Chain A
Amino acid sequence: MAQFIIFLPLIGFLFCFFFGKYFNFKISQILTTSFLFISTILSWILFFSYLGEKEIEVIQIFNWFTSGNFIVDWSIRLDSLTTTMFIVVCSVSACVHLYSIGYMNEDPSKVRFMGYLSLFTFFMLMLVSSNNLLQMFFGWEGVGLASYLLIGFWYHKPSANNAAIKAFLVNRIGDFGYALGIAGVFFIFGSIEFDVIFNNAENFKDHSIPFLGLTFSTIDLLCFLLFIGAMGKSAQLGLHTWLPDAMEGPTPVSALIHAATMVTAGVFLVARMSPLFEYAIVTNLFITFIGASTAIFAATIALTQNDIKRVIAYSTCSQLGYMFFAAGLGAYNASIFHLMTHGFFKALLFLSAGSVIHAMHHEQDMRKMGGLFKKIPFTGTMMWIGSLAIIGFPYFSGYYSKESILENAYYSNSSMATFAYSIGILTALLTAFYSWRLLLMTFHGKTRSDSKTFDYAHESPLVMTLPLALLACGSIFSGMFFADYYIGKMQYVFWGEALVLHEDKHHYLPFIQTLIIKSSVAMGVMLAALIYFYKNHLPKNLAHNLDPLYSISLNKWYVDELYNSIFIKPYFLIANFFWKRGDEKIIDGYGPNGISKIFALFSSYLSRFQSGYLYHYAFTMLGGLVIILTWFIYY
């Protein structure tokens, strides 16, 4: 069954790639979408079979490569972590496939688009079902490729091409760490199979390793290297710059890849490797720190962005930060639970935004929207559901998962946990603020769009609204239904050996703490309502009065500008320097060209001897004779 789940999308892609052009585009659309729905149904069946107690199952496919004792298999590992990822990936992907039929209706390259979506899904499923680090790397880079192709899908746009390259390259910087991490794991454990690593992790607890002349705790170093990979893929602080730019891709892509699935691969990696990360004490502090910093950093940027997709993109970044700090604190189950609920509500938010953009004829600037609720009430309702879920409104999915992360932070006894906890609450406030800012600017108040666009705004067709409804169900109910299994009393049965669980920290937060959390969320909502609904002149005044802060937020803390001047420009300069100075001046100049010049010079001197005058030759002979005679006389 797992084979079907994974390979159906691949078959869909291959069909589009080889035969798509010979048939009507509808065939490709129907085929890929229905394959995805079959995969989804199968993955839910599989998921339910893993709800109870069940052994981890490994299905061997065939040997990929063997070199010395480095043995890698193509295989599928099934446990509750894999099946969780299966349902998230397949469900969101199926919804996005269906949605794309409507959204890409006017695009000439529909077949290519559907093919890429299916290809992405295949790689993602390979990633989450891998039984070793290298097959995971295959999926890891594969989703990177699909992301590159889809961000640059509209290849006529230079901005899209640049964003695609940026995404690929920043991810590659992460992959550099990941690849080193795999090599290191192999060096230490002699295998990259998960079971071997997990069984031996404890033996290397106090082991240390020299690296670059310094000595590191082995597991800390390995986890650090792997985490670099996770940072790239999950757009964590420092390597986050590609994610907002990735919004150049079509909106369904943003929903699938850059919100619900691919960007969570980093979190998945940490959870999957939890038996190893468990012993990486220093690296865990680092992960918590990076996660918490990203959460607040991205949230501050989301406050002022005007592009509807960029707000959601930064929100994704920020939510990923939550997942990482939970993982860093050892609450892997809370982290994965948030990953799942986030997958549903973030995909919902993105697809709703897509529906808005669709209605507004590809307008993404929220300053030119407003009052759309009357025109597109269904989309508006969906956006409301998604927003309620993301701020953690009681009984929506985000409520359970976010609360659980904060609980874990509260009950972990370290100063880093306290830091993360306070950041978490502050971020919750900001999340509520920017979510409501988005809602109000888009759907409520008076419209700021020109009357023509506004009048023609229309609700999306059924193929687009149906996926929204499905995802809305996920956003509302996934928390309620599965909280017991992921973080509640069934967690030991459910997770089994799939990831590391700590002794039951599931005490409820003290009343005062819940009050703080809830009131800060409420405050965020009310602030947004005050500024963007009741007092319409406030945004401008605030922007003016708080100018330095406002500019920092609007310009994304100037990270892109900074990177541009300290990395990208020097890179090109050095490249030219090496070429013009290194290769042409030094190596060629002193190498072949230099030698040939010396020879030319030499031969021009030599040729002067052949002057043709007899007395020159006679004199030379005489001179030679004198020298030879002198030599013989003295020696």
Chain B
Amino acid sequence: MTDIPLLSLTIFLPLLGALVILLIKEDENSLSNIKKVALWTSIGVFLLSLFIWLQFDSKNAGYQFVEKVKWFNDFNFYYHIGIDGISLFMVILSTFLTPLCILASWESIKKRVKEYMLAFLFLETVMIGMFVSVDVLLFYIFFEAVLIPMYLIIGIWGGERRIYASFKFFLYTLLGSVLMLIAIVVIYQLTDSMSIAELQGNFFPRNIQLYLWLAFFASFAVKIPMWPFHTWLPDAHVEAPTAGSVILAGVLLKMGGYGFIRFSLGMFPEASEYFSPLIMILSIIAVIYTSLVALAQTDIKKLIAYSSVAHMGLVTIGIFVVNSQGLEGAMVQMISHGVVSGALFLCVGVIYDRMHTRDINFYGGLVNRMPIYATVFMIFMLGSVGLPGTSGFVGEFLVIIGAFKYSSIVVIGAASGIVLSAVYMLYLYKRIIFGVIENEKLNEILDLNLREKTILIPLAIAVIIIGILPNIFIEPMRLPIELIISNYELANAK
């Protein structure tokens, strides 16, 4: 479309920034330079991705900004990237959250700052790369590569039980990754093609589809995560540094949802139809069960982590009811969750930086000392609860609408989130924000500083904008989603 390879530029600009940082000698004086380079690089990437959005053609259902270079001479592997309405916002979510994460780590990360920034920029590259890959193998490489910086971020800059957390994460992902790789090999054997775009449709015999679907499911169900593959998430969140949690909740969980839409629905429609009751059951359990578990938590981060599982339960319901409301709802829910849960983790980070504890009982009455903090936290809480006018509502409600067509039990399961999410979030908010300050250690706690406001206010604005004008997000994804639905219906009409 354009002569400049915009997408490649977006992917590799962070690496360029990383290269510059690598060249800076790390000492006392250069620390702030390192941070600045990282920050400005990521802001540049964000602006670039906004530019792509601006240039994006909503009337086109296929991939745009496509670049295709042959990789091996003897095999059909390509460096094939492109962006469509489904991946567009996943990319923007990644590029939006990364600068905020770097800014959030400005003061809280004290050791190995250089390596930390390198890890984050590398993470950004692979995240974007994964979402824009049109080649299955390329996707797989990026998909697995995301884990490397994430392991490092948890393992080096994490909390006390970081080894246990990353080990657990590893155990869960291992099986999925192996199965997914085998499935990819099988796909290549059967079709001699690795292009996601070409494979959209119903190219596999039904019995093979079922196995392939399960192999991909093993990987995505862990990532998103679905019940009962979710227990790695609370531990990983608790041990990760704030910015790590933000990316984990904001982007990495979406890899699962994105994968379900692209691979499970797009390539194995018959299997998706066959397995959809399984997904519904697991999702409903996720919504109800994890909402309850969230209520019992005493660690703020764990509570939000469990709430993520419940919200992702809605996403999987939305995806596998396969109608435009359900799928678009799931997409909006993913975008919204990326912003809201990312913001909630940042809010936790704000008080963790000050008090070095995430114990809910430690806090109470913060509104007396931190009115601005209380206000922005309130906005994110309402977003998480799904109040109309905030981002959380649009996705949740579209999924409910979509689920009504599927089955009455599923819609009741999905809608129960309306009540259950309010229970744990309001209870959390009351315990840390309202009341009088009883813990005297909190007497001198300070409200948000300029840096923290710069991080949180854009997120608050995003929550409102998605809530009031969701159309600007739904519009570009409409056609690709319709394509997936028509494929699905065609495949299952037989």
> Which residue of A has the minimal Cβ distance to B292?
A575
Given the interface pairs A156-B435, A592-B232, the reply to whether A183 lies near B411 with Cβ below 8 Å is yes
A186 to B433, CA, bound (A): 39
B397 at the interface (CB under 8 A from A): yes
Q: Digitize A565-596: 1 where CB-to-B-CB distance is under 8 Å, 0 elsewhere.
A: 00000011011101110110001100110011
Asked whether B408 lies within 8 Å of A588 as measured between CB atoms, the reply is: no
Asked whether A595 lies within 8 Å of B171 as measured between CB atoms, the reply is: yes
Residues of chain B within 8 A (CB-CB) of A510 are none
Within the complex, the shortest CB–CB distance from B190 to chain A, in Å, comes to 32
B471 at the interface (CB under 8 A from A): yes
Within the complex, the shortest CB–CB distance from A291 to chain B, in Å, comes to 24
Within the complex, the shortest CB–CB distance from B372 to chain A, in Å, comes to 10
> Which residue of B has the minimal Cβ distance to A212?
B408
A165 to B431, CA, bound (A): 11
B193 at the interface (CB under 8 A from A): no
Residues of chain B within 8 A (CB-CB) of A67 are 324-325, 328-329, 398, 401, 474, 478
Asked whether A64 lies within 8 Å of B228 as measured between CB atoms, the reply is: no
Within the complex, the shortest CB–CB distance from A505 to chain B, in Å, comes to 37
> Which residue of A has the minimal Cβ distance to B409?
A212
Residues of chain A within 8 A (CB-CB) of B368 are 156
A41 at the interface (CB under 8 A from B): no
Given the interface pairs A179-B400, A187-B405, A212-B412, the reply to whether A142 lies near B430 with Cβ below 8 Å is no
Within the complex, the shortest CB–CB distance from B222 to chain A, in Å, comes to 11
Residues of chain A within 8 A (CB-CB) of B411 are 180, 183
Residues of chain B within 8 A (CB-CB) of A210 are 408
Given the interface pairs A141-B388, A142-B389, A179-B418, the reply to whether A184 lies near B168 with Cβ below 8 Å is no
Within the complex, the shortest CB–CB distance from B21 to chain A, in Å, comes to 35
A155 at the interface (CB under 8 A from B): yes
Asked whether B426 lies within 8 Å of A169 as measured between CB atoms, the reply is: yes
**Residue of A169, A576, A580 touching B422 (CB-CB under 8 A):** A169
A68 at the interface (CB under 8 A from B): yes
A307 to B328, CA, bound (A): 50
A183 to B405, CA, bound (A): 9
**Residue of A138, A152, A183 touching B404 (CB-CB under 8 A):** A183
A344 to B364, CA, bound (A): 40
Size of interface on B: residues with Cβ below 8 Å to A: 56
B295 at the interface (CB under 8 A from A): yes
Q: Digitize A488-506: 1 where CB-to-B-CB distance is under 8 Å, 0 elsewhere.
A: 0000000000000000000
Asked whether A588 lies within 8 Å of B231 as measured between CB atoms, the reply is: yes
Asked whether B436 lies within 8 Å of A575 as measured between CB atoms, the reply is: no
A376 at the interface (CB under 8 A from B): no
Asked whether A583 lies within 8 Å of B398 as measured between CB atoms, the reply is: no
Q: Digitize A114-156: 1 where CB-to-B-CB distance is under 8 Å, 0 elsewhere.
A: 0000000000000000000010011011100100100010011
Asked whether B401 lies within 8 Å of A158 as measured between CB atoms, the reply is: no
Q: Digitize B362-374: 1 where CB-to-A-CB distance is under 8 Å, 0 elsewhere.
A: 0001011000000
B240 at the interface (CB under 8 A from A): no
Asked whether A68 lies within 8 Å of B404 as measured between CB atoms, the reply is: no
Within the complex, the shortest CB–CB distance from A588 to chain B, in Å, comes to 5
A156 to B470, CA, bound (A): 37
Asked whether A138 lies within 8 Å of B324 as measured between CB atoms, the reply is: no
Q: Which of A68, A212, A574, A592 has the most CB of B within 10 A?
A: A68
Identify the stretch in A32-40, A170-178, A313-321, A386-394 within 8 Å (CB) of chain B at 4 or more residues.
Answer: A170-178
A588 to B292, CA, bound (A): 17
A613 at the interface (CB under 8 A from B): no
Within the complex, the shortest CB–CB distance from B290 to chain A, in Å, comes to 8
Asked whether B329 lies within 8 Å of A155 as measured between CB atoms, the reply is: no
Residues of chain B within 8 A (CB-CB) of A168 are 422, 426
A592 to B324, CA, bound (A): 37
Tell me the chain B residues, 321-376 only, with Cβ under 8 Å from chain A: 323-325, 328-329, 365, 367-368
B255 at the interface (CB under 8 A from A): no
Asked whether A165 lies within 8 Å of B474 as measured between CB atoms, the reply is: no
Given the interface pairs A70-B401, A180-B411, the reply to whether A583 lies near B231 with Cβ below 8 Å is yes
Residues of chain B within 8 A (CB-CB) of A63 are 471
B186 at the interface (CB under 8 A from A): no
Compute the total of residue contacts between A and B using a CB distance below 8 Å: 143
Asked whether B387 lies within 8 Å of A141 as measured between CB atoms, the reply is: yes
Given the interface pairs A161-B435, A578-B292, A596-B171, the reply to whether A172 lies near B422 with Cβ below 8 Å is yes
> Which residue of B has the minimal Cβ distance to A138?
B388
Given the interface pairs A169-B423, A591-B231, A592-B168, the reply to whether A186 lies near B435 with Cβ below 8 Å is no
Asked whether B168 lies within 8 Å of A68 as measured between CB atoms, the reply is: no
Tell me the chain A residues, 576-627 only, with Cβ under 8 Å from chain B: 576, 578-580, 582-583, 587-588, 591-592, 595-596
Within the complex, the shortest CB–CB distance from B478 to chain A, in Å, comes to 8
**Residue of A145, A155, A571 touching B434 (CB-CB under 8 A):** A155
Size of interface on A: residues with Cβ below 8 Å to B: 55
Tell me the chain A residues, 304-338 only, with Cβ under 8 Å from chain B: none
B101 at the interface (CB under 8 A from A): no
B141 at the interface (CB under 8 A from A): no
Asked whether A176 lies within 8 Å of B416 as measured between CB atoms, the reply is: yes
A634 at the interface (CB under 8 A from B): no
Asked whether A152 lies within 8 Å of B168 as measured between CB atoms, the reply is: no
Tell me the chain A residues, 448-500 only, with Cβ under 8 Å from chain B: none
Asked whether A70 lies within 8 Å of B325 as measured between CB atoms, the reply is: yes
A65 to B387, CA, bound (A): 15
Given the interface pairs A63-B471, A67-B328, A68-B328, the reply to whether A172 lies near B435 with Cβ below 8 Å is no
A63 to B470, CA, bound (A): 10
> Which residue of B has the minimal Cβ distance to A70?
B325
Within the complex, the shortest CB–CB distance from B466 to chain A, in Å, comes to 10
A238 to B403, CA, bound (A): 28
A66 at the interface (CB under 8 A from B): yes
Asked whether B293 lies within 8 Å of A575 as measured between CB atoms, the reply is: yes
> Which residue of A has the minimal Cβ distance to B429?
A165
A300 to B248, CA, bound (A): 55
Residues of chain A within 8 A (CB-CB) of B69 are none
Residues of chain A within 8 A (CB-CB) of B409 are 212
A211 at the interface (CB under 8 A from B): yes
Residues of chain B within 8 A (CB-CB) of A591 are 228, 231
Asked whether B436 lies within 8 Å of A156 as measured between CB atoms, the reply is: yes
B23 at the interface (CB under 8 A from A): no
B153 at the interface (CB under 8 A from A): no
Asked whether B474 lies within 8 Å of A579 as measured between CB atoms, the reply is: no
A569 to B69, CA, bound (A): 62
Residues of chain B within 8 A (CB-CB) of A175 are 418-419
Tell me the chain B residues, 155-213 only, with Cβ under 8 Å from chain A: 167-168, 171-172
A571 to B397, CA, bound (A): 25
Asked whether A579 lies within 8 Å of B387 as measured between CB atoms, the reply is: no
Asked whether A172 lies within 8 Å of B293 as measured between CB atoms, the reply is: no
Within the complex, the shortest CB–CB distance from B260 to chain A, in Å, comes to 19
> Which residue of B has the minimal Cβ distance to A66?
B471
Asked whether B422 lies within 8 Å of A152 as measured between CB atoms, the reply is: no
B415 at the interface (CB under 8 A from A): yes
Residues of chain A within 8 A (CB-CB) of B400 are 179-180, 183
Q: Digitize A508-536: 1 where CB-to-B-CB distance is under 8 Å, 0 elsewhere.
A: 00000000000000000000000000000
Asked whether B231 lies within 8 Å of A587 as measured between CB atoms, the reply is: yes
Known: A68-B324, A141-B389. 10 other contacts (CB 8 A): A134-B388, A141-B387, A156-B365, A169-B419, A173-B419, A176-B416, A179-B397, A186-B404, A571-B295, A578-B293
Listed A/B pairs (11) with beta-carbon separation below 8 Å: A161-B430, A172-B422, A175-B418, A179-B418, A183-B404, A183-B415, A212-B408, A572-B296, A579-B292, A579-B296, A591-B228
The 9 closest A-B pairs by CB, nearest first: A68-B324, A138-B388, A183-B404, A575-B296, A575-B292, A155-B434, A575-B295, A579-B296, A579-B293
On A, residues with C-beta under 8 Å from B are: 63-70, 134, 137-138, 140-142, 145, 148, 152, 155-156, 158, 161-162, 165, 168-169, 172-173, 175-176, 179-180, 182-184, 186-187, 210-212, 571-572, 574-576, 578-580, 582-583, 587-588, 591-592, 595-596
On B, residues with C-beta under 8 Å from A are: 167-168, 171-172, 228, 231-232, 289, 292-293, 295-297, 323-325, 328-329, 365, 367-368, 382, 387-389, 393-394, 397-398, 400-401, 403-405, 408-409, 411-412, 415-416, 418-419, 422-423, 426-427, 430, 433-436, 468, 470-471, 474, 478
